[in-house]
Chains A and B, each alone.
Chain A
Amino acid sequence: SQTIHQWPATLVQPVGSPLSLECTVEGTSNPNLYWYRQAAGRGLQLLFYSVGIGQISSEVPQNLSASRPQDRQFILSSKKLLLSDSGFYLCAWSRGTGGEDEKLFFGSGTQLSVL
């Protein structure tokens, strides 16, 4: 069966510090990978998605970047965190078939607090 791992679960970082969140998927190959962010009391905002190694699409201009160095690894980074980067970050994967049964499977999330 497929599983998705996301870490760390919580993170407190000072303003201006770097960020690296990692997500890995097991049990499938060539998945689509996604990073979402959820600010307190808000809906989910799609940040990045990837359909393959080295292929990253950005949905929202921001202080963050994403990379996919391996087929099942997705990394969210920042060189200098801002207060507005605080939120709940979720990694997700899908099979990428585009068909009716295409579903998103989410990780458990990382609660990031920038102070």
Chain B
Amino acid sequence: DAKTTQPTSMDCAEGRAANLPCNHSTISGNEYVYWYRQIHSQGPQYIIHGLKNNETNEMASLIITEDRKSSTLILPHATLRDTAVYYCIVRALTSYNTDKLIFGTGTRLQVFP
């Protein structure tokens, strides 16, 4: 079962910031938060990940609360091409070479003109 809770859908105006929340209240100390997105009829694409510090890359910013029970993915200037399903996933580092990411149903972000 997915360990995260996300809103089913959100809307955002083009050019505005899209803030996608994720609740992971049962996250463990060794679990990272990862975000992927899936554009319609394509495979998911990695966006960003973090442990406890805020992170930023060319695609997005990730804000993790101090208690790590929730996080927010920020797309600073949403475009129509950002319309997709966004998945928030928690994952623990392992000493084994397996990596079973559990995807929930995600948030469907619709960016409108």
Contact = CB atoms under 8 A, between A and B. Distances in A.
B97 A96 contact: yes
B58 to A, nearest CB: 15
Contacts of A46: 100-103
Contacts, number: 69
Interface stretch (B10-18, B42-50, B64-72): B42-50
Given A42-B105, A104-B36, A104-B101, A98 B95 contact: yes
Nearest to B92: A98
A66 interface: no
Contact of B98 (A42, A45, A49): A49
A46 to B, nearest CB: 6
A98 B99 contact: yes
A51 interface: yes
Contact of A44 (B44, B94, B99): B44
A103 interface: yes
A88 B106 CA distance: 16
Interface string B33-65: 010100001111110010100000000000000
Interface in A95-115: 96-100, 102-109, 111
A102 B99 contact: yes
A49 B100 contact: yes
Contacts of A45: 103
Contacts of B103: 36, 43-46
Interface string B65-106: 000000000000000000000010001011111111111111
B99 A32 contact: yes
6 contacts: A42-B105, A49-B100, A51-B97, A96-B98, A96-B99, A98-B93
Please give me the 8 A-B residue pairs with the lowest Cβ-Cβ distance, nearest first.
Answer: A106-B43, A96-B97, A44-B103, A43-B105, A98-B94, A103-B46, A43-B103, A90-B43
Interface of B: 2, 32, 34, 36, 41-46, 49, 51, 87, 91, 93-106
Interface of A: 32, 34, 36, 42-46, 49, 51, 57, 59, 88, 90, 92, 94, 96-100, 102-109, 111
